[in-house]
């Protein structure tokens, strides 16, 4: 029988989602929900691996991320949204998988390596943080996920998941766990408004899906362009110019964008004019999302119920997976 495609992804609830999340994975998820069975997980357990001292922050952002999901158009009829900590089978699988990986393999995971540096964890590394890729393998396999739409920084996680899946299937002489494929977006690394390589909440260079018109305007007006483009009549550089990067992605009139690039490069097009266009473009994109979000914010119980319903559905599937796993691991005592 051909393997059924099951989509599983997630986000850490450490803040509201931004347009980098949108181009990096939300856009793919919106398309995938019409084709496949899709699970989207709010990764509160993973968020705690580096926020264990800030439970309020994680708790608050579970709702914020849920709001973002529904506001961009994830449809609970098509996408099962669930809360990671409410699926104990994920913790159970993590425990079993930990026997199948070595500490040195985890220490070589490039994404974890970078994150350890960013967080200053070199001196005292929480064991839970080092092993979160194992927990991520459990996230994916607990629903037998086969397709994972994420940004390219997550590739090492999928690779590590598949190593665990192969070890598991080999050791327990089974094929109950499927391997997963990453689906990487064309632009999976959106630069920040300051021109740095990646948009990130912690860098203060993000445009959030929930930003007000004023915030959008302020952020675009202070955006990084071409530092050598001082006078309107000077020729300007398009490459690395964040305003053009965003216009490429969000402006529906790409013919006009091409014409503007030409004019900018030959001189005679000022940054302010260009930024005014981008403000309109971003506003046209964000405004319907913001409106839906504000409607949903009035009824947080509805949003929580969507998450709890999705969690209930996921629990059912997770228990089926555990039945298979316990059987091949000879843990099926009853």
Which stretches of the chain bind ligand TRP, using CB under 6 A?
8-12, 41, 43, 46, 136, 139-140, 148, 150, 154
The CB-of-124 to ligand TRP minimum distance in angstroms stands at 22
The CB-of-219 to ligand TRP minimum distance in angstroms stands at 22
The CB-of-227 to ligand TRP minimum distance in angstroms stands at 31
Asked if 281 and 250 count as a contact pair (C-beta separation under 8 A), the reply is: yes
CB nearer to ligand TRP: pick between 23 and 148: 148
CB nearer to ligand TRP: pick between 26 and 274: 26
CB nearer to ligand TRP: pick between 140 and 318: 140
254-266 vs 271-297: helix axis angle to the nearest 10? 140
The CB-of-18 to ligand TRP minimum distance in angstroms stands at 12
The CB-of-271 to ligand TRP minimum distance in angstroms stands at 33
CB nearer to ligand TRP: pick between 10 and 66: 10
The CB-of-31 to ligand TRP minimum distance in angstroms stands at 16
Mark out the alpha helices in the chain (DSSP H runs): 19-21, 27-32, 44-48, 55-72, 88-97, 103-108, 110-118, 127-130, 132-142, 155-171, 213-221, 242-250, 254-266, 271-297, 300-328
CB nearer to ligand TRP: pick between 48 and 306: 48
The CB-of-244 to ligand TRP minimum distance in angstroms stands at 27
Take residue 307 and report the two structure tokens written for it.
């998450």
Asked if 74 and 33 count as a contact pair (C-beta separation under 8 A), the reply is: yes
126-163: buried (b, 16+ CB within 10 Å) or exposed (e) per residue? eeebbbbbbbbbbbbbbbbbbbbbbbebbbbbbebbbb
37 SS3 class: strand
Q: Work out the widest C-alpha separation in the chain, in whole angstroms.
A: 80
CB nearer to ligand TRP: pick between 9 and 33: 9
Asked if 313 and 78 count as a contact pair (C-beta separation under 8 A), the reply is: no
- Tokens 């990453």 — which residue? 182
CB nearer to ligand TRP: pick between 45 and 281: 45
Task: Name the DSSP letter for residue 51.
Answer: T
């Amino acid at each position: 029988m051909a393997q059924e495609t099951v989509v599983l992804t997630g986000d850490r609830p450490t803040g509201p989602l931004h347009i980098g999340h949108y181009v990096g994975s939300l856009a793919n998820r919106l398309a995938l929900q019409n084709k496949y069975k899709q699970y989207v997980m709010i990764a509160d357990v993973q968020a705690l691996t580096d926020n264990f001292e800030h439970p309020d922050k994680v708790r608050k952002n579970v709702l914020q991320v849920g709001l973002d999901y529904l506001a961009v158009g994830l449809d609970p009829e098509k996408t099962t949204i669930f809360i990671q900590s409410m699926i104990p089978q994920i913790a159970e699988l993590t425990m079993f998988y930990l026997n199948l990986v070595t500490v040195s393999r985890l220490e070589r995971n490039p994404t974890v390596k970078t994150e350890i540096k960013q967080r200053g964890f070199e001196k005292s590394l929480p064991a839970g943080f080092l092993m979160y890729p194992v927990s991520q393998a459990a996230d994916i396999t607990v629903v037998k996920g086969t397709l994972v739409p994420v940004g390219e920084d997550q590739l090492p996680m999928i690779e590590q998941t598949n190593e665990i899946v192969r070890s598991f299937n080999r050791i327990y002489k089974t094929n109950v766990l499927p391997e997963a494929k990453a689906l990487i977006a064309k632009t999976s690394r959106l630069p920040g408004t300051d021109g740095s390589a990646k948009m990130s909440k912690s860098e203060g260079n993000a445009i959030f899906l929930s930003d007000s018109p004023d915030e959008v305007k302020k952020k675009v007006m202070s955006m990084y362009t071409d530092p050598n483009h001082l006078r309107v009549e000077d020729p300007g550089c398009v490459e690395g110019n964040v305003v053009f990067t965003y216009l490429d992605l969000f402006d529906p009139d790409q013919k006009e964008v091409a014409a503007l690039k030409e004019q900018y490069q030959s001189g005679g097009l000022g940054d302010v004019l260009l930024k005014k266009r981008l403000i309109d473009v971003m506003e046209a994109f964000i405004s319907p999302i913001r409106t839906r979000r504000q409607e949903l914010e009035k009824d947080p119980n509805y949003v929580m119920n969507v998450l709890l319903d999705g969690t209930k559905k996921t629990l059912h599937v997770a228990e089926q997976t555990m039945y298979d796993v316990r059987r091949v691991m000879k843990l099926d005592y009853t």
